[in-house]
Amino acid sequence: MNCESCSPKTYLSWFEKICSIPHESRNEQALSNFLVEFARERHLAVSQDEKGNILIRKPGTRGMEQAPTVILQGHMDMVCVKDEGLDFDFAQDPLRLVIDGDSLHADGTSLGADNGIALAYILALLDSSDIPHPPLEAVVTVDEEVGMGGATAFDASQLSASLFINMDSEDEGVFCVSCAGGRRSRMHIPAETEDAAPLAASGKGHFYLITVTGLAGGHSGLEIIRERGNSNKLLARVLDDLTRKFPCRIVSLNGGTAANAIPKESSAVVLSSAEEQELRAELDSWTEIFRHELRGADGAGLVITLADADAADKVLTERCAANVIDAALLIPTGIASMDMNITSQRLVESSNNFAMIRMEKGEIVFHCQTRSSVASKKEALCRQIDVLASMIGATVEHSGDYPAWEYNPNSRLQPLFESTYRDLFHKDARVEGIHAGLECGLFAEKFRKLGRNVDFLSFGPTVSGAHTTRECLSLSSAENTWKLLIEVLRRIGKTA
């Protein structure tokens, strides 16, 4: 694609330039250096930190020099995914852009509109000589897609603005005004075992594999509101029932795939002397129970299977198995509270995802991802995990903490964006929060510690299929978002 034909949409020309420079997460140095040279060529103040984060300052245009300074923020890294078998090297090959009607996508790879379009808008504004705007502080971070390391390292004390516009949202006409903070927890339960041989001898026991599968899973922040089944939790209920009704000992457990994914498949190996048909009948009964409980969510495909398993030398002691099952039954799971402040949507305020079960190095380890847009409620959920662990002689390790961006009912940016959108497009925008992390949360926490009152809002054009080879940018939405941005900046500038 040659974006010369897109003129006067100069932001698309800049987007094409960005796509020609490698910028995979943790490999953004070339793009970071390009931004430094871009700024120097235009005699704009620029700084680059050790991580590669960029800050570029541009004075307000004539008559707007004394208007409130605005931070424009996005991240420069992209998630790099390509079609199987495609000969393409993200470390050196430019993305091959394709326009198909209103859609812009890349040929065989992810597009990186998340968040390259924000950077393209920023470059177009910094390069312009005829777009009225207040003083600007452009902040472009690295490593957002792999833990927000750039924003974590950024020195916010060098910023002077009181208005912060993040452009990392992906639905035109939806203004994001809060995000959840998060923390990961690992509960370590000592795996006390005993020999399985005496229990399995003389045909008194048989090894079985029990699997809970067929659930939908999904993102533990964005999809938690759908009340989908958690396979780890369901497996715990099954094991609790079996160990109370039948001679049944637990050999091993495994469930889930990632901390930020709702688990959709979990399994356990058990040793039992019960008749196979009795176990199958019990599992069939639980299948129907779970399908009924989850009938409005993802229960239709749920299956609990019983199969032969390889013999094992050890089983968990009855006390250890009871501790594991009790902990799995009691650990907070799913929605803990709903947000009562943002009334335009059903928004989860706090949740905990019982994400994974692993047996490793003599321990049974439970992995959790806790989220909340209220810091104290995140602490309360994590404290529940701590207390539960102490009751069974387990320990908890917390990591990956990132702060929330709490809703501001006195925001100046929110009504400004709403009224501007209505004036431009003769329809109402939606104001929403997100039950996942944004860099706004990290910056908001930095400003809070500095004693600064900074107003935040996140918005962006419609990007579908982000992080996949189906990722595409709606060109009409990109144009609407560009018009909205420059009109908002003009209105802020008029307050000088």
Catalytic positions are 77, 144
Cα–Cα distance between 438 and 201 in angstroms, integer? 56
Question: Across 333-465, where does the E strand assignment appear?
Answer: 334-338, 348-360, 363-372, 395-402, 430-434, 455-458, 463-464
With tokens 């104290």, the residue in question is 376
Cis peptide before 115 (omega within 30 of 0): yes
Burial 123-141 (b: 16+ CB within 10 A, else e): bbbbbeeeebbbbbbbbbb
* Residues paired with residue 193 on neighbouring β-strands, in sequence order: 316
Read off the DSSP letter of residue 387: H
The DSSP secondary-structure symbol of 51 reads T
CB 365 within 8 A of CB 382: no
| Run of H or E residues at 195 | strand 193-195
Neighbours of 92 (CB within 10 A): 8
Closest CA to 342 of 379, 376, 373, 381: 373
Report yes or no: 253 and 243 within 8 Å, Cβ to Cβ. Answer: no
Q: For residue 105, give the amino acid letter.
A: H
Helices (H) and strands (E) in the chain, counts: 12, 23
Q: Name the helix (H) or strand (E) containing 419.
A: helix 413-425
DSSP H helical ranges for 72-179:
113-127, 149-153
Which 3 state secondary structure label does DSSP give 199? helix
Cα–Cα distances in angstroms (integers) from residue 360 to residues 190, 191, 357, 366, 390, in the given order: 10, 9, 10, 11, 20
Residue 414 one-letter amino acid:
Q
- Residue 442's H or E segment, with its range, is helix 439-449
Residues 108 and 469: their CA atoms lie apart, in Å, by 6
Strand, coil or helix: 28: coil
Compute the C-alpha angle 114/454/423, nearest 5°. 65
